[in-house]
Structure 1
Amino acid sequence: MTMADSDAPLADLPRSSDGLATTDDALARLRERLPRFLEERVADAGADRLVVSLDGGVETALAATFAVEAVGQDRVTGLVMPAFLSHEAVSRNAEAIATALGIEHRRMQLQPVLAAFQETVGGSDGPADDLVATNNALSRLRMACAYYVANTTNALVVGTVNRTQSLLGSVTKHGETGADCLLFGDLYRTEVEALARAVGIPEELTVETSGSPLHPGESPATELDVDPETVDRILRCRIDEGVDAAVVAERAGVDVKLIERLETWSERTSHKRCRPVRPSTGA
């Protein structure tokens, strides 16, 4: 397996026996480091604000919380961007988060935008015709909206993709990853959720809405008979530490074929983690 994009993230953090940064000490350091990271990005760019897309899930709630800690509630904009009626419940959660944080927030109904886009581009009569294409288009439309707001307010766009999503390709190329910074890019989902609990994000939000239908990225983790934390332990051990697949399987108490399946999925979606190829870099 190639390790080109898998340097051990945040190597200085104290870790639990399973290799994840979920110890009290690690979480305390992250609570200090991540807001400071955002503050530094704003200062380096000469920006005035931060923009966070809110989807009702734990990652975006935590990102907005850290954005407020970094630059203050009056310099953070939350965007809620539903497209279908099925998004209504999580959109209300997202708006409640923004209200609780005291940040400016805007709801943008993207269904008319998506319909106009599909009519203009052609080749589709509606969302049901090609669900993958529709979800990818929505993700890119949301990022375009976030950047329009950012450009008109001299702001930076905060991305909330975590390392689990990145390694398994559960993201849209040039969609959720097309931000000015990926706040949780070095953290596995298990670590983000542990950090959210430490910060005080409501437990019901963590459990019920993590993996919001606003961003239904494809992932093998939902297809496997194994809990998400085990998936994170496997990825950390196999990809970040380079431990032999058979050893990882024994440690995790799973069949080695599961390790191989996750590896294959990660390799197959590696194009989502790479910059566009140039003639000087080859295929």
Structure 2
Amino acid sequence: MADFDGSLAELPRGPEGLATTDDALARLRERLPRFLEERVANAGADRLVVGLDGGVETALAATFAVEAVGRDRVTGLVMPAFLSHEAISRNAEAIATSLGIEHRRLQLQPVLAAFQETVGGSDGPADDLVATNNALSRLRMACTYYVANTTNALVVGTVNRTQFLLGSFTKHGETGADCLPFVSLFRTEVEALARAVGLPEELTVETSGSPLHPGESPAAAVGVPPEIVDRILGACVDRGVDTATAAERTGVDPSTVERLAEWCDRTRHKRRYPVTPATDT
């Protein structure tokens, strides 16, 4: 994705440093479907598969997938595991219905239970929430790829840049995909893009991360608005601005900037390829 990332880096940005201007959003609306269309053509694939979780990223990914290859060549997968996922799943199915795409609901609770029984060492979700949620993320990835493999499809991932930099995803889970169209766009930018596309707000769940992938949210933990988090990350990570300057520009305490920087550093392993003897320095 290096070339495509470069093109996104050239997007016109507002005073806050985010690509939420009308010009930027218009370019993204043109480029992202084309990006998916090119991935399908280059791979010789027939269709695209998107995991739908009721969130804005998955809804937008499915929308662009339809624009790229047509509704008859897109499959949406809704993969709940617990009763608490029911409302989220209905939202996800409503998105699929509104787009006119084939969609399936895969109930993963029995799969998770069988997995835990086979592996052993766990009595269920209450035993170790981190292990359980990570297992669910990876089970969803496995299910998505099974469908993709049996239909000659590519898997569209939906992690955004805020999630990616802060490590708000499961390693080998949500990033297990053939393409990640939003990994260069912060959450604020994705939301602005969804509004520009006309995605119905009532069909998405407002959340700082994926509704089906719960866990500690760095953006929520620092206690500042999500847009400020994105501005800090854009300044410090993408443009190399120092802590004091980033704090002054965003009107937050330097300790907040430092906490986000520490979070990025602590989750760096999630963004790296597996270490080898040649890279273990």
Whether these two folds match at TM > 0.5 is: yes
TM-score tier (shorter): over 0.9
Residues 1:50 and 1:174: Cα distance change in structure 2 (over 3 Å): same
Partner of 2:80: 82
Query: 130, 149, 170: which one pairs with 2:147?
Result: 149
Matched, 1:34 2:5: no
Which blocks of at least 5 consecutive residues in structure 2 are unaligned?
none
Which blocks of at least 5 consecutive residues in structure 1 are unaligned?
1-6
Partner of 1:25: 23
Q: Distance in 1 between matches of 2:180 and 2:224?
A: 27
Residues 1:76 and 1:8: Cα distance change in structure 2 (over 3 Å): closer
Do the aligned residues in 2 keep the contact of 1:124 with 1:130 (CA within 8 Å)?
yes
Q: Distance in 2 between matches of 1:265 and 1:39?
A: 34
Q: Secondary structure at the match of 1:119?
A: helix
Q: Deviations over 1:95-150 (max 9, x none)?
A: 01000000000000000000000000001000010000000000000000000000
Task: Give 1:49's aligned amino acid.
Answer: R
Do the aligned residues in 1 keep the contact of 2:208 with 2:220 (CA within 8 Å)?
no
Q: Distance in 2 between matches of 1:209 and 1:237?
A: 23
Do the aligned residues in 2 keep the contact of 1:9 with 1:186 (CA within 8 Å)?
no
Partner of 2:160: 162
Sequence identity percentage: 82
User: How much does 1:211 deviate?
Assistant: 3.2
For normalisation by structure 2, the TM-score amounts to 0.96
Q: State the 4+ residue runs in structure 1 displaced beyond 2 angstroms.
A: 203-213
Partner of 2:199: 201
Query: 272, 275, 278: which one pairs with 2:276?
Result: 278
Q: CA RMSD in A?
A: 1.3
Q: Distance in 1 between matches of 2:22 and 2:204?
A: 18
Matched, 1:98 2:111: no
For normalisation by structure 1, the TM-score amounts to 0.95
Q: Secondary structure at the match of 1:10?
A: helix
Query: 224, 227, 252: which one pairs with 1:226?
Result: 224
- How many residues get paired? 277
Q: Secondary structure at the match of 2:75?
A: strand
Partner of 1:132: 130
Q: Secondary structure at the match of 2:184?
A: coil
Partner of 1:243: 241
Q: Distance in 2 between matches of 1:94 and 1:210?
A: 17
